[in-house]
Structure 1
Amino acid sequence: MPKQGKAIAMISGGLDSTLALALVRRQGVEVKAVTFYTGFCITETQRRKGGRADGAVPRNEALRAAADLEVDIEYVDISGSEYLDMLVHPKYGYGANANPCVDCRVFMMRKAKEIMEAEGADFIFTGEVLGQRPKSQRRDTLRIIERDSGLDGRLLRPLSAKLLQPTIAEQEGIVDRERLEAISGRSRQRQMELARELGVVDWPQPAGGCCYLTDESFAKKFFDVLDAREAAGEERRILPEDVVLLSTGRHFRLSPRAKLVVGRTEVENALLEHHVEGRARLEAQDVLGPVAIVEGEPTWEERVLASRIVARYGKGKDAPRVTVEWREGDLVERYEVEPEQDEARVEALRI
């Protein structure tokens, strides 16, 4: 009979973490789940903005999974300056885009360790699968994450446990190693079989990442912010308001000195309105169109160019000329411009 124990489950609500939760729960282990908000989760950002472009509001899958399996869950916001500093200076570098996956996992595991100790729990477990992701789920990086987070022997991966060294929880009989799995690689076949065996019927479809940092277009905007600050002689850093703006609107680099962000929806227009301070606000007059902001120190030519780009979106795009209002503090100027029609020029400026 397994020894009674308590565990902290790190869950996203995806199939793997849901299966890991079900595997440990069925062994009679008391479980408390945690889910982390980094500021870069795509679906959670969409939720906070009121839904997707089609109007659908995505679920918080971690909260849903915990409810389905009747487990208490703690929602932990780690999106502050400590996390943002790690993103800019990752010890183990980035993946294909702006994703420092190993450093991010270490960061989360350290926070989970604090919760484990506060709760008097015996171990932490995740839905990680050996070899499923090329950077953060190799055998060597799984070991690095365990070591650097201070969780030696206290970090269980139930889906791949039989392929990894036994943890303290297995050695002490808190969990039965024989009732864990030996899954590896990117195939989902065993997970689908296991879902049927465990009665898990609800998970996000299609499966996939939920992090803006893994997205190529987002990564370009992310590094553009860092490069622009460095070029201006400032510290390379990402601020909390940058996180909001990076996932909002169309971004155009007018020059090393100035950037334009143009809203795409009413929600994005409203978000940009909240970030006008210290920036210029642009909007076409007498025609329905987007709100836009310009940050930096644009030249007069760049002001006109920004106005032409703003005029090309919305109801004024086919007009011969559009008046665009430029507000910057107490300064109000109006530019009568032709909407920019040069697609190649616009695309060359788009970040």
Structure 2
Amino acid sequence: MVRRKAVALYSGGLDSTLAIKLIQNQGIDVTAVHFYTGFCITETKRRRGEKKEDGSHYMNPALRYAARYGFKLEIVDISDEYFNIVTNPKYGYGSNVNPCIDCRAFMYKKAKEIMDEIGADFLVSGEVLNQRPMSQHLKAMKIIEREAGVEGLVVKPLSAKVLPPTIPEIKGWIDRSRLEGIVGRSRKRQLELAKQLGIDEYEQPAGGCCYLTDENFARKYNEVISFQGSISRDDLYLLTIGRHFRLPTGTKVIVTRNEGEGRFIRGLSKNYWFFEPVGKGAVAIAKPIENRELTEEEIKTIADLVARYCKTDETGKINIKYSSPKYSLSLEKKEGIILGEKLQEETLETWRI
């Protein structure tokens, strides 16, 4: 008897973990695939080396739970291609800048490529009918599968009994009666299933683990679009970092909030105007409009802004080092040290995005 293979889209969350277990329990060989987009909140915190309140490190949930439950896992970086999904979604955004329908269709396409490459027979998803308002109602599910070219090939084990039969069910590769019929946002049945299937540890269900669903991220995204008319890849990914300010001159300033962000920003320091204290405190990058040089007044203003988040002397002052980027061979490098004097919070609030 031929052992069937499946590729499962795996976030590391409870639903996708349960979906894989339900399919594995029917003798199917499942390969879990986790797509890295650059916008997972937990993964971004892990890459920055941040720690939780209890002092423990953040971990990629897909890596963590695949290891715990013995899933074969592939992590695929789709961040470069994903930029176009975020900035130009065919089916628009949800309540923030989350292009959920386009996102899901794109991931199905990529999963289908892996399915064909390894000779698998179908795809598996942990989606639950009507759990998410934009992409998990029946009409959206049909659109997504049609756009991805995977109609009839995606088994959703948690809601299978209330969805049209898929090719694997029709052909008898899996037993539909052993799947679930969950509908809606309640997690009661998932928690029962977790006990039954020996899933004793999992991420607590949350409203969104993606920056694109975050209201603050959306506000910063829309500010860049309204100010610049477009957004670059660097602009987009920098929205996940730090405190954001727009000076009256139009210059964008991003000030770090912790050591992890500081390491991230330092890695980009050659591409932007860079500010750091001679001592302890936050670092910052600045992006003038049209890549012009900062004026002496702007350099002083940004130094004062950075000083607000540094350990200053008793008068609120600290020396701030600054350096310019190297936009081209024709521009001379500018660097120096300037005295930063803490700005008042009232001033900062008028510039804060």
Q: Which residue of 2 aligns with 1:75?
A: 75
Q: Which residue of 1 aligns with 2:158?
A: 159
| Counterpart check, 1:238 vs 2:235 | no
> By how many angstroms is 1:65 displaced?
2.8
Q: Which residue of 2 aligns with 1:271?
A: 264
In structure 2, C-alpha distance between the alignment counterparts of 1:158 and 1:170, rounded to whole Å: 11
Q: Which residue of 2 aligns with 1:293?
A: 285
In structure 2, C-alpha distance between the alignment counterparts of 1:32 and 1:79, rounded to whole Å: 21
In structure 2, C-alpha distance between the alignment counterparts of 1:145 and 1:278, rounded to whole Å: 38
Percent identity for Structure 1 against Structure 2: 48
> Partner letter of residue 259 of structure 2?
E
> Partner letter of residue 139 of structure 1?
L
The count of aligned residue pairs is 341
Q: Which residue of 1 aligns with 2:228?
A: 229
Q: What SS class does the counterpart of residue 247 from structure 2 fall into? A: strand
> Partner letter of residue 285 of structure 2?
I
| Counterpart check, 1:259 vs 2:252 | yes
In structure 2, C-alpha distance between the alignment counterparts of 1:39 and 1:214, rounded to whole Å: 13
Q: 1:328 aligns with which of 321, 324, 327?
A: 324
1:242-285 deviation line (CA, Å, top 9, x unaligned): 45422222111114631111122223222222212242122334
| Counterpart check, 1:349 vs 2:351 | yes
> By how many angstroms is 1:196 displaced?
1.4
In structure 2, C-alpha distance between the alignment counterparts of 1:213 and 1:100, rounded to whole Å: 8
In structure 1, C-alpha distance between the alignment counterparts of 2:341 and 2:310, rounded to whole Å: 13
Structure 2 gap ranges (5+): 326-332
In structure 2, C-alpha distance between the alignment counterparts of 1:308 and 1:19, rounded to whole Å: 52
Structure 1 gap ranges (5+): 231-235
Q: Which residue of 2 aligns with 1:233?
A: none
> Partner letter of residue 178 of structure 2?
R
In structure 1, C-alpha distance between the alignment counterparts of 2:269 and 2:157, rounded to whole Å: 48
Normalised by the length of structure 1, the TM-score is 0.90
> By how many angstroms is 1:323 displaced?
3.5
Q: Which residue of 2 aligns with 1:304?
A: 300
CA 1:4–1:327: 2 relative to 1, 3 Å: closer
1:40-87 deviation line (CA, Å, top 9, x unaligned): 11111111111336442122222233333323111111011x210121
> By how many angstroms is 1:324 displaced?
2.9
CA 1:317–1:243: 2 relative to 1, 3 Å: farther
CA 1:320–1:60: 2 relative to 1, 3 Å: closer
Q: What SS class does the counterpart of residue 127 from structure 1 fall into? A: coil
Moved more, 243-252 or 28-37: 243-252
Alignment of 1:22-171 (within 5 A): 22-52=21-51, 54=53, 55-80=55-80, 82-171=81-170
In structure 2, C-alpha distance between the alignment counterparts of 1:206 and 1:148, rounded to whole Å: 28
| Counterpart check, 1:284 vs 2:277 | yes
Say what the alpha-carbon RMSD is for the aligned residues: 2.1
> By how many angstroms is 1:202 displaced?
1.3
Q: Give the conservation status (yes or no) of the 8 Å contact 2:14–2:205.
A: no
1:126-178 deviation line (CA, Å, top 9, x unaligned): 10001111111111111111111100110111101111110000000011111
> Partner letter of residue 253 of structure 1?
R
1:279-322 deviation line (CA, Å, top 9, x unaligned): 2122334x422211111144544333222211111212752444
